[in-house]
Structure 1
């Protein structure tokens, strides 16, 4: 279906994605492999579409959140290492082996469960350096080392998560530096015990951008890969230029006038303070536009900023286009992306909705079709 026939859609800029890969690879250095996070449908960008583009650019390692996400990539022909960052039920251990997925050892007792499966499984060992979520405590080197004694586990890596690497305070920086230091100590202790042959990684997007001097075997870019920061106010230390990959657009379905004193939408939460021109747009919260933007968000129409008025519905919303000349049915309404000389970033939209871009993007609905395009 051509763009002209779509009610709401997502555009993915291939050139921007590949640009971001090059920029992040430059930051981490030639000796570090990028292991992009394509979980949550690649942060709403489309996991299969994104993974295929990345594979074409030479990326061979990927991170997902669940076995089902990994299976979906394998079914689409994605090869290379696929690391599951979270817990997998024993009932799916057969799938780990069948689809050659790499499972995280989320705690020491889980290593025993994986080993008891009785057939070889590929794993990375999770180490808790201070997030206190998943992983064996970094302070217990014996417990970490014990994983290597379990039969049936092919251990190819070890990793941890940074929890305040996006922070800018001295306290947050000290905490992050201690996490990195503790992780390095575990690596050193394992090597002292003769345990080698595993790759290490701890940096996600902000670990890459704020601690570029730290070098490990791999790095796991997430939100930064898609050219976005979590919030517009975020600042990073790395000298890097990222380009947004995703645009979210929808069609104006009709235009109508509202008289002074008339109200519109569910709950009649918007009342015109004068004669207003409204555009009914064919997108709603089922298309990934948060309901919390009711009466507070905006879109771009013909390069003009148009406020969202009234409650956002499942399939439609209303824009005040009184100040937009010539608007008519079929026009584009841009919620993320560019129109004319203006732009709405995902982080800006997310902040207005009271969240971060990571959540906003990963909750984009399946209904808008993803369209990949290139400028070349």
Structure 2
């Protein structure tokens, strides 16, 4: 049975875990009995930190697996900043308690800073950072399964310095071993012994993405949990515990609890995540506030002696303060609504369906290379490329160096091929950002080669388009390119100039280009020269020549569910448009007959007319000559009248009922049963969709619908 989604009830349980951490530090049931409180605080509450660790492992897995060091370091930096803030927050309490006094106080401080935590609950932050670095290093060398086995071994070592310490002390050489450990750290519940196993458990669950039924998981959780309680009570009764954070049965208990949470209905909530984190950090100060206030007003019997009321008061105060701080953070980060004026909607589910449709057309082992140049044809290059990464596409094509750098800076993985010219003086950026440069000619190859920097390149062959590329007939030039010792040739490709046409003469021309390409490849092979990856088809090359078998197809406009024009193609596929453009009605006016609308007095009203001013114009990328187009309002077409302005356009809504200010207007996309396609708009403007979409302005906000990971 597959898990329902990627988050399930993880975020709501973060809040429960935060309350369990508070319970661990306030002993809520102590007034009712020591054993009851021990079960709650020293056994049940011990699930909180492992849960947080598993969540981190679960969501970090794909980045660690893909070797995304920038993301991992950014995550660790975030944890370090939270830790630094927490150190400052609790510094007054440490100073008040006289914790760092004496001749060697700095040794204690360094030990606390990097291992034990500078306050009792803050060990989590250095522990998490160290654990992530250990797991990252081990996974790189050993893989996840062996890393998990190693983490089990480390956890067992930690057990005998924690809950099973009484057994370790009975054996002299083992006791000496732990004495050495405790000269460095006060506990084994740290980033070396405890953290890796729960991180890797979260990763294993993410990797598997499936589990047995909820009923079976619930049963196994109950059994594991009961055994955990029995284990904890037995250890406590025999006074074997040095500390009580690590139990044998804690591991299966957490595994099945995590699976259950993923199978429950839930909603991802950044607000809950923030509140839980803040509660974890600030609750010791809330304990101090409650104790100080109770002492000031002589209410110790109610708020201190009564342990349960004490816990409730600290919990409520921690929650309220965390919620207030979370609201403050959210308020400071608030920005105007992205749908307030004009925006682009990107349907990521449609993108995923197009990927599968195009993949079904691919022969053999051919793969998709996604063309994301020109901001992914107006669709948002970074977001689209990252979504494609998630759907198994790891080859991309861009037009410029800057486009490639933008993708790398946003952690897009895989090969990124720069199709266009890069100034040789910027060659170091190709190397730094691991980009593959297109070789457009022999002189260019020699210019890049003279810098002495090992570069990944692909050679562009000119088979008849006569744009960039080495003439396919100039075999001597090609061979000389191979002599450039600092250029690592990873592929050879070409481009078809009329693969979008089914006219007989254009088909013949395309076949000639393909023949030239194949002949050049065969000659290179005969010379024992490395070919690398081969590709010649773009979107129309795939749709009209699907039987060609190369390594890649450079899918561009078709990936986004659009064709350049309303063309007929050989492959009858139903691609889904990914993009929609929408805006708002700014104002509704009644215009009498004989009046002129918009610039230039080009449109005169013939009778009383109701017009709507729409909040989008040519500065947003709409062609100014779209004067005879339509938009959709309330699922009905409304004609554009007058000239399109820089920031607005005007439509006739006389025949539409109840058009009001702030109504949504669809310029491209679907509203009700009506649809306006990119192809229609481009045709009315005398251009192609490629140009129309790639010119969309930076003022438009992007709304991404149906993300794969919630």
The reply to whether TM is greater than 0.5 is: yes
Query: 1:375 deviation in Å?
Result: 8.6
- What pairs with 1:265-280 in structure 2 (closer than 5 Å)? 265-280=598-613
Q: Scaled by the length of structure 2, what TM-score is found? A: 0.52
Residue of structure 2 equivalent to 1:60: 394
Establish whether residue 226 from structure 1 lines up as the match of residue 555 from structure 2. Answer: no
Aligned to 1:81: 415
Q: Relative to total residues, which structure has the larger strand share, 1 or 2?
A: 1
- Distance apart, 1:374 and its partner CA: 1.4
Task: Indicate the SS of the match to 2:555.
Answer: coil
Partner SS for 1:243: coil
Out of 480, 488, 491, the residue aligned to residue 146 of structure 1 is: 480
Q: Counterpart in 2 of 1:237? A: 570
SS, match of residue 220 in structure 1:
strand
Which residue of 1 is the match for residue 458 of structure 2?
Answer: 124
2:339 and 2:701 in contact (8 A); partners too: no
Q: Distance in 2 between matches of 1:30 and 1:219?
A: 12
SS in 2 for 1:162: coil
The 5 Å alignment of 1:11-160 reads 11-160=345-494
Assess if the C-alpha contact under 8 Å between 2:525 and 2:531 holds in 1. Answer: no
**2:680 equivalent in structure 1:** 348
CA offset at residue 91 of structure 1? 1.6
Regions of 4+ moved over 4 Å: 1-5
Instruction: Compute the displacement of 1:303 (Å).
Output: 1.1
Aligned residue in 1 for 2:690:
358
Report if aligned partners of 2:524, 2:531 keep a CA contact under 8 Å in 1.
Answer: no
Distance 1:311 1:130 in 2: 41
Report SS of the residue matched to 2:585: strand
Could you tell me whether the CA contact under 8 Å between 1:284 and 1:314 is conserved in 2?
Answer: yes
From the superposition, tell whether residues 2 and 371 of structure 1 become closer, same or farther in structure 2 (CA, over 3 Å). Answer: farther
What is the alpha-carbon distance in structure 2 between the residues aligned to residue 145 and residue 164 of structure 1? 28
1:304 aligned to which of 632, 636, 647: 636
Offset at residue 120 of structure 1 (A): 0.3
Q: Does 1:258 align with 2:591?
A: yes
SS of residue paired to 1:35: strand
Aligned residue in 1 for 2:533: 199
1:5 Cα shift? 4.6
Q: Structure 2 CA distance, aligned partners of 1:28 and 1:4?
A: 38
In the TM superposition, what is the alpha-carbon distance from 1:146 to its structure 2 partner?
A: 2.1
Give the distance between the partners of 1:348 and 1:141, measured in 2 at CA: 44
Structure 2 residue 577 is matched with structure 1 residue 247? no
For 1:176, the equivalent position in structure 2 comes to 510
- CA shift for structure 1 position 29: 2.8
- Please list the CA deviations of residues 164-200 of structure 1 after superposition, one character each: whole Å capped at 9, or x if unmatched: 0001111000000110111011111111111135110
Residues 375, 138 of structure 1: CA spacing in aligned structure 2 closer, same or farther, 3 A cutoff?
A: closer
Verify the 8 A CA contact 1:127 1:144 in the aligned structure 2: no
Gapped runs of 5+ residues in structure 1? none
Residue 315 of structure 1 and its aligned partner are, at CA, apart by: 0.7
What residue number does 1:370 align with?
Answer: 702
Q: CA deviation at 1:3?
A: 6.2
1:332 aligned onto 2:677: no
Contact 2:338–2:701 at 8 Å: present in 1 too? Answer: no
Instruction: Name the counterpart of 1:7.
Output: 341
Give ranges in structure 2 of 5+ residues lacking alignment: 1-334
Q: What CA distance in whole angstroms lies between the structure 2 residues aligned with 1:224 and 1:30?
A: 20
Structure 1 residue 2 displacement after superposition: 8.1
1:145 positional shift: 2.4
Aligned pair count? Answer: 374
> Contact (CA 8 Å) 1:231, 1:347: kept in 2 or not?
yes
Judged with a 3 Å threshold, the aligned counterparts in structure 2 of structure 1 residues 184 and 4 are, in CA distance, closer, same or farther, namely: closer
- Structure 1 SS opposite 2:370: coil
Residues of 2 paired with 1:375 and 1:99: CA distance?
A: 27
Query: 1: distance between equivalents of 2:369 and 2:693?
Result: 20
1:186 equivalent to 2:528? Answer no
1:239 is displaced (CA, Å) by 3.1
Match of 1:316 in 2: 648
Deviations 1:126-162 (A, max 9, x none): 1000000011111122222221111100110000000
Q: In structure 1, what is the Cα distance between the partners aligned to 2:577 and 2:339?
A: 24
- SS of residue paired to 1:73: helix
Any idea what SS the aligned residue of 2:590 has? strand
State how far apart, in whole Å, the 2-side matches of 1:202 and 1:174 are.
16
Cα deviations across residues 313-372 of structure 1 (Å, max 9, x unaligned)? 111110001111111111111110001110000011000011000000000111111111
Distance 1:4 1:73 in 2: 23
SS in 2 for 1:292: coil
CA distance in 2, matches of 1:72, 1:4: 22
Measure the CA separation in 2 of the matches of 1:342 and 1:270. Answer: 26
* TM-score, normalisation: structure 1: 0.97
Indicate if the aligned counterparts of 2:493 and 2:534 stay in contact, CA closer than 8 A.
Answer: yes
User: Is residue 164 of structure 1 aligned with residue 498 of structure 2?
Assistant: yes
Distance apart, 1:4 and its partner CA: 7.8
Distance in 2 (alpha carbons) for counterparts of 1:30 and 1:329: 54
2:9 is matched with none
What is the alpha-carbon distance in structure 1 between the residues aligned to residue 667 and residue 610 of structure 2?
19
Kept after mapping to 2: 8 A contact 1:166/1:210 = yes
**SS, match of residue 625 in structure 2:** helix
Q: Tell me: higher relative CO, structure 1 or 2? Use CA pairs within 8 A at least 6 residues apart.
A: 1
Q: Which of structures 1 and 2 has the bigger CA Rg?
A: 2
Does 1:285 pair with 2:613?
no
